[in-house]
A and B are shown apart, each in its own frame.
Chain A
Amino acid sequence: MFNFPKSIAVRKAQGTQYIPDLRAAVPGGYRGKPVIAEAACAAGCTACVDACPSRAIALDPLRIDMGRCVLCGDCEPACPAGSIAFKTDVKLSSTTRDGLTISAAHPDIDPIKVSAELRKRFGRSLKLRSVSAGGCNGCELELNAVGNVNFDFGRYGIDMVASPRHADGLVLTGPISRNMVAALQICWDAMPEPKLVIAMGACAISGGVFADCAEVDRRFLEAFKPTLYIPGCPTHPLVFIAAVMDLLGIDV
């Protein structure tokens, strides 16, 4: 009748699952930060631009906007010169929208600026409210994973909370569907000051693959500029974690 032995067996099998050093963790096989070769493109070639589903690539010189990029990797085999490759690097995030563009001359995202004010206020406790607004549930699943036994971001006092009244920040996922405009605003208004917006995933940052949809209304982000832009499609938990740790100056 008692499950004690079974429970102990599960506990033993579970072992220790948390990643001790989140800074040092490498996501094996992850298609993360793009690397762009120095060599000039062949005149008139638009193969990568044509393959891109989210208009993330511009030419002369070749550059990728990580705010739009969905990391599908389709540009890599499309490029006849082999000028685009992807690394497992999770340092993809920025505190500025313009800082998200990668090129041969600008191979790294602009580093996140540690804010002394944010560090003082939220460095040991940051409570976040998630709003999904027209996304695909990919970023939402990864945001949940951030708190699971492997990533255990709660160890730094960074948690998701149920009520906007308890939240210091709003994590926005999805391109903002018109049908979510009103609810998003109500949630934001219910959060006490001081508060910040984190744009998680290509959809939230730029609209992603849904940027051209008439069913999307992104005016909320014009009024409330994100403090942090965290790319991906969906955003890998380690990308999210690195970004927030950088912003708050944790274990830098």
Chain B
Amino acid sequence: MTKNPVVVYDLRETTPLGLADFINECDRRLTEGERLLSLFGRNGGEGETAVAVTAVFVTESDGLSVLRGVAKKGDAYPALTLKHPSAHIYERELWEQTGVLPGGHPWLKPVRFEGARQQRMDDYPFFAVRGREVHEVGVGPIHAGVIEPGHFRFMCHGETVHHLEIQLGYQHRGVEKLLLQRPPKNLTPTVESICGDSCIAYAWSYLAALEALSGTPAGFETDVLRGIALEMERIAIHVATLNGLATDIAFVQGTGSYGRLRTAVINASQRVSGNRFGRGWLRPWRTKGLTDALRQDVRQTLADFAVDLRRMNDLMCSALSVKARFKGSGVVSTQAARDLGLLGVAARASGVAIDARSELPGRLYERAPMGSVVESSGDCWARMLVRMREIDTSLEWLFRVLDDSTLDLSGGTAAPVGADLRLAPEQLCVSVVEGVRGQVLLALETEADGALRHVKVQDPSLANWFGLALAVRDNGISDFPICNKSFDLSYCGNDL
């Protein structure tokens, strides 16, 4: 049976569990080895105290599954995090968004200072390390480069970092609420603005959910075109990260070469979609097609890119100055990565082989399988290598698909006849796409009339920021920039 990255759950068919039973069932599943993909809450309407809680799991045998429970604002339960640390960030978010209290949670702090906590950034309860020679270094929210805002506070002993605390929320602009204010069929440009370096992953995740809820999935060629767009996005952003890594250690040839190599790929995306980040490429049921000329153009651009990229990667990997900085810096052990529930590149660099493209292949990756890359050393070097090798894997996949003459990709595929964006009522749809940093998860819930009741957005960065905090422990503070860049997480995707 195909394990799909999209699951639709009929809310009318089952009764939600009470909070205690819901948590017990979560505990049972996690104990049995299911992996927690998400845990989130939805507040009832104005004046209501009911909170719907949803957990999403993935298992090797059955793929995605959804568990639904109900609680009241202010209800408390024993935190899952105590036994299953991978739940830590989801329980923090559940508490911040709904007021349901995970009792005994060891790190119950705001995730993004939303709602009534806005502009109370100064109230963040920082962990404090005490001792005569202990000192703190605070950086941000505004940083030295052209990057997004966030606050980092290092608790140090001399040059050594005991702990890093990361305070986010500066980019919070109310995305989840905004997505309920406009008709679903016109939402794609807004979804593309949730995390602007992952437009394709977000748009695809959203559209797959929308199409599933409408009962008319997109055609196979549309899937292939979306897959092409996604791998081009992955390549471009991975190269941007390699560029950043080279820049952060003053490896100037890397800055110059990776910079122009990325330009070639995103300019090809622009020739297809009109935009360097692929905005406007994916729409409900449609995806801009590749005419024969464009297909040849993209094929040739990527072929030229591949030659020069390998040459540059070879130089980067053999340079002693690069090895000296990256090897052994910012180590996250396999155990820690698994315990924390790290996702995507961060997990795969620490030996945890999770990748939605192979775990939940759907019909696309079942027909055109995508290899997954794993490294085991968990350091900055491993996170660099995973990106380099993933670009190779993406290129190999793209060449395979672009050269497959049985695939007609020219269509700019149209909506299927009779397709209608009336969404099925009282459904919950969870959709996962393996974006550049890891799984991008969207959950859409519909009302009795098919209108959207709730949209849950989850960037892989949410789970991975704590991985960065762990990585810098016992490292010199001057290695923070390379640790940070090796994770290359999203602030806006976390802050929403």
Write the residues of chain A forming the contact surface with B, with a CB cutoff of 8 angstroms.
Answer: 1, 3, 6-7, 9-11, 13-14, 17, 27-31, 50-51, 53-54, 70-74, 86, 130-145, 148-150, 160, 162-163, 174-175, 177-183, 187, 203, 208-210, 212-216, 233-234, 236
Q: Which of B172, B259, B260, B312 contacts A134 (CB 8 A)?
A: B172
- Minimal beta-carbon separation of B87 from chain A (angstroms): 25
Set of chain B residues within 8 Å of A181, measured between Cβ atoms? 119
Write the residues of chain B forming the contact surface with A, with a CB cutoff of 8 angstroms.
Answer: 112-114, 118-119, 121, 141-142, 144-149, 169-174, 177-178, 181-183, 186-190, 192-197, 199, 240, 253, 255-257, 259-260, 263, 267, 270-277, 279-280, 283, 307-308, 311-312, 314-315, 318-320, 490-492, 495
Set of chain B residues within 8 Å of A209, measured between Cβ atoms? 178, 189-190, 193
Q: How far is the CA of A17 from the CA of B240 in the complex (A)?
A: 17
Having A177-B170, A182-B119, A212-B181, one finds 19 other A-B pairs with CB under 8 Å, namely A10-B312, A13-B311, A14-B256, A28-B270, A29-B267, A29-B271, A71-B275, A72-B280, A133-B149, A134-B172, A135-B492, A137-B490, A148-B263, A178-B119, A179-B171, A181-B119, A187-B142, A209-B190, A215-B174
Asked whether, in the complex, the Cβ of B315 is within 8 Å of the Cβ of A6, the reply is: yes
Set of chain A residues within 8 Å of B257, measured between Cβ atoms? 10, 13-14
Known contacts A7-B315, A148-B259: A53-B270 contact under CB 8 Å = no
Q: How far is the CA of A144 from the CA of B148 in the complex (A)?
A: 12
Asked whether, in the complex, the Cβ of A31 is within 8 Å of the Cβ of B189, the reply is: no
- 28 pairs, CB–CB < 8 Å, chain A vs chain B: A13-B257, A13-B312, A17-B256, A29-B273, A30-B270, A50-B186, A53-B187, A73-B280, A131-B149, A132-B148, A132-B171, A134-B170, A136-B193, A136-B194, A136-B195, A137-B197, A141-B197, A141-B240, A141-B277, A149-B255, A149-B259, A178-B118, A178-B119, A180-B170, A182-B119, A215-B118, A216-B174, A234-B196
Set of chain B residues within 8 Å of A131, measured between Cβ atoms? 142, 149
Asked whether, in the complex, the Cβ of A135 is within 8 Å of the Cβ of B148, the reply is: yes
Q: How many A-B residue pairs have CB under 8 A?
A: 208
Q: Which of B142, B148, B170, B267 contacts A179 (CB 8 A)?
A: B170
Q: How far is the CA of A30 from the CA of B269 in the complex (A)?
A: 10
Q: How far is the CA of A207 from the CA of B226 in the complex (A)?
A: 29
Set of chain A residues within 8 Å of B275, measured between Cβ atoms? 30-31, 71
Asked whether, in the complex, the Cβ of A9 is within 8 Å of the Cβ of B280, the reply is: no
Set of chain B residues within 8 Å of A145, measured between Cβ atoms? 259, 263
Q: Which A-B residue pairs are the 7 nearest by beta carbons?
A: A138-B196, A136-B196, A31-B274, A215-B174, A29-B271, A162-B144, A72-B189
Q: Which of B196, B253, B280 contacts A137 (CB 8 A)?
A: B196
Q: Which of A27, A30, A150, A215 contacts B259 (CB 8 A)?
A: A150
Q: How far is the CA of A139 from the CA of B271 in the complex (A)?
A: 19
Minimum CB distance partner of B240 in chain A: A141
Q: How far is the CA of A56 from the CA of B178 in the complex (A)?
A: 17
Minimum CB distance partner of A28 in chain B: B271
Asked whether, in the complex, the Cβ of B186 is within 8 Å of the Cβ of A74, the reply is: yes
Asked whether, in the complex, the Cβ of A149 is within 8 Å of the Cβ of B172, the reply is: no
Minimum CB distance partner of A214 in chain B: B174
- Minimal beta-carbon separation of B156 from chain A (angstroms): 21
Q: Which of A54, A70, A138, A182 contacts B197 (CB 8 A)?
A: A138
Set of chain A residues within 8 Å of B193, measured between Cβ atoms? 70, 136, 138, 203, 208-210, 233
Asked whether, in the complex, the Cβ of B177 is within 8 Å of the Cβ of A213, the reply is: yes
Q: How far is the CA of A30 from the CA of B171 in the complex (A)?
A: 28
Set of chain B residues within 8 Å of A72, measured between Cβ atoms? 188-189, 192, 279-280
Known contacts A7-B253, A179-B121: A135-B277 contact under CB 8 Å = no
Asked whether, in the complex, the Cβ of A175 is within 8 Å of the Cβ of B173, the reply is: yes
Minimum CB distance partner of A133 in chain B: B149
Set of chain A residues within 8 Å of B119, measured between Cβ atoms? 178-179, 181-182
Set of chain B residues within 8 Å of A140, measured between Cβ atoms? 146-148
- Minimal beta-carbon separation of A145 from chain B (angstroms): 7
Minimum CB distance partner of A207 in chain B: B173
- Minimal beta-carbon separation of B229 from chain A (angstroms): 14
Q: How far is the CA of A252 from the CA of B194 in the complex (A)?
A: 37
Q: How far is the CA of A57 from the CA of B181 in the complex (A)?
A: 18
- Minimal beta-carbon separation of A74 from chain B (angstroms): 6
Minimum CB distance partner of A180 in chain B: B170
Asked whether, in the complex, the Cβ of B272 is within 8 Å of the Cβ of A29, the reply is: yes
Q: How far is the CA of A139 from the CA of B193 in the complex (A)?
A: 11
Set of chain A residues within 8 Å of B492, measured between Cβ atoms? 134-137
Q: How far is the CA of A134 from the CA of B270 in the complex (A)?
A: 25
Minimum CB distance partner of B314 in chain A: A6
Q: How far is the CA of A124 from the CA of B464 in the complex (A)?
A: 43
Asked whether, in the complex, the Cβ of A14 is within 8 Å of the Cβ of B178, the reply is: no
Set of chain A residues within 8 Å of B255, measured between Cβ atoms? 149
Asked whether, in the complex, the Cβ of A73 is within 8 Å of the Cβ of B274, the reply is: yes
Set of chain A residues within 8 Å of B189, measured between Cβ atoms? 53-54, 70, 72, 74, 209
- Minimal beta-carbon separation of A30 from chain B (angstroms): 6
Minimum CB distance partner of B304 in chain A: A13
Q: How far is the CA of A42 from the CA of B164 in the complex (A)?
A: 61
Set of chain A residues within 8 Å of B173, measured between Cβ atoms? 134, 174-175, 177, 210, 213, 215-216
Q: How far is the CA of A208 from the CA of B170 in the complex (A)?
A: 18
Minimum CB distance partner of B271 in chain A: A29
Q: How far is the CA of A8 from the CA of B146 in the complex (A)?
A: 30
Asked whether, in the complex, the Cβ of A53 is within 8 Å of the Cβ of B190, the reply is: yes
Q: How far is the CA of A183 from the CA of B256 in the complex (A)?
A: 32
